[in-house]
Structure 1
Amino acid sequence: MSNRQVVFPAGRQALYEKNRYSPAIVSNGFLFVSGQVGSRADGSPEPELAAQVRLAFANLNAILLAAGASFSDVVDVTVFMIDPARQFEQIWGVAQEYWGGAPYPTLTGIGVTWLYGFQFEIKVIARMPDAAG
């Protein structure tokens, strides 16, 4: 018997079905969120970097909300950037708009060469608010 519950944000099911993965899974009191990019409703990238990062966070927040969580429940963050040496300061400035206060989640930043046409991706693990402990 599987102890996994798939979480779908409103209006995004077709995108996830097309690409054959779950946007998020709740398991054992944790929410595991697939990498979120700044994709428009049709799946295309938002062209401007700051707007793309904001849209990635909006997509992330839609999943957190659909699961009954918020960014304050996030315990671990991984971000992927195409050109971190050039883009980090701009990305980090936008990310701080969503980050919230201490205690902050753990963070791993990774520079990559390809993100399916995107410049930024964020994936998180959150502890579900109703989880014991």
Structure 2
Amino acid sequence: MIKQEAIYPAGRHALYEQHGYSAAIRSGDLLFVSGQVGSRQDGSPEPDFAAQVRLAFDNLRATLEAAGCGLNDLVDVTTFHTDPENQFATVMAVKKEIFTHPPYPNWTAVGVNWLAGFDFEIKVIARIPEAA
């Protein structure tokens, strides 16, 4: 049986403890990352939408790095949007800043009506490099 290991980024463990879930679970050579939002250090939402999307990616990077991964190790991406039609252009602009060349991870975008005060959330599955 494959042992599962909880992964937490530095400085944010208390937020996960408070809500009773892990930032990510390592299972074998896969990392399953919980939805990351554009939350500030205190857990509050970043009000500017573009900055919130960038901060969600920063929070994702921190979780990936805690497991020895990076954005290039992403296999599957799912994003959640409270207003996809009006947010799409902003999300695509940020996405192009982050993923600058192929191969790109597969990506599913889902419209939702509630994200606990946030407007964007990203959850991923990554393959952990052998060196990690």
TM-score scaled by length of structure 1 = 0.95
SS in 2 for 1:9: coil
Runs (4 or more) in structure 1 with deviation over 3 Å come to none
SS in 2 for 1:10: coil
Q: Residue 33 of structure 1 contacts residue 124 of structure 1 at CA under 8 Å; is this kept in 2? A: yes
* Residue 82 of structure 1: aligned partner: 82
* Residue 17 of structure 2: aligned partner: 17
Q: Which whole-Å deviations, capped at 9, do the CAs of 1:27-76 have from their partners, x for residues lacking one?
A: 02100000000001111000000000010000000011110000000000
> 1:92 offset after TM fit, Å?
1.3
Sequence identity, in percent? 59
Aligned length: 131
Please say which of residues 63-72 and 122-131 is displaced more in the overlay: 122-131
TM-score scaled by length of structure 2 = 0.95
* Residue 117 of structure 2: aligned partner: 117
Instruction: Within 5 Å, give how 1:1-133 maps onto structure 2.
Output: 3-130=3-130
Distance 2:116 2:103 in 1: 32
> 1:100 offset after TM fit, Å?
3.6
In structure 1, stretches of 5+ residues that fail to align are none
User: CA 1:37–1:86 in 2, change beyond 3 Å: closer, same or farther?
Assistant: same
SS in 2 for 1:114: coil
Please say which of residues 3-12 and 92-101 is displaced more in the overlay: 92-101
Q: Which whole-Å deviations, capped at 9, do the CAs of 1:69-106 have from their partners, x for residues lacking one?
A: 00000000000000001111111111221124211111
Q: CA RMSD in A?
A: 1.2
SS in 1 for 2:47: coil
